[in-house]
Amino acid sequence: MTTQLSNILTGILDNNRLTGPNFLNWLRNLKIFLNLERIGYVLDFKVHDPLLEGAIPKERDTLDRWKEHDMRAMCYMLAFMTNELQKQHKKMQSASKILDHLNCPKYLAFLKSKKDKPLEGTSSNESLDAQDVRLRIGNEATVAALAIGSKSFLRVIPDILAI
């Protein structure tokens, strides 16, 4: 990434630090930045460590590269949130764990009640398109979902585009 472009995106993230209610806007900007750095995949893919016995060198290299990318993503995430949120998330072990915690409905509801205003990027009459819904089941598989009935204030974040 060019230094000039990096500085522009860093400025965008710095001016839009995660405060809680701005989660959706912050996440959108973060994903743009991480994708430009070619490390955005760490938010969606979890790697099981340690490797199984008998892993080949290529698998070890892939795991090492993923760990490095994940650490960079975690540092970016923590750098562009308030000090209070940094303290809450600094001991988490991966970028995807931080994101899972931030995207947890109970946590988002707590932040919403704390600020007493709706989450930025949402509205009570907003409808979701099929591509706006991501549902993961216990084995981490992503599955399709059909919503019937009412919608809560929480908008589910779509998967990032693969690079």
pLDDT of 73 > 90? The answer is yes
The answer, yes or no, to whether residue 69 has pLDDT greater than 90, is yes
Task: Give CA torsion, residues 129, 37, 27, 62, to 10 deg.
Answer: 80
Q: Long-range contacts: 32-37, Cβ < 8 Å, 24+? A: 33/9, 33/76, 34/73, 34/76, 34/160, 35/160, 35/161, 35/163, 36/1, 36/5, 36/9, 37/1, 37/72, 37/76
pTM of the model: 0.62
pLDDT at 157: 41
The SS3 call for residue 121 is coil
**Residue 149 scores a pLDDT above 70:** no
Distance CA 151, CA 156 (A): 11
Inform me whether the pLDDT recorded for 65 exceeds 70.
Answer: yes
Given a contact cutoff of 8 angstroms between Cβ atoms, the answer to whether 152 and 105 are in contact is: yes
Q: Rounded distance, CA 156 to CA 132, Å?
A: 7
Model pLDDT, residue 55: 81
| Local confidence band at 151 (pLDDT 50, 70, 90 cut-offs) | very low
- Predicted confidence (pLDDT) at residue 142 exceeds the cutoff of 80: no
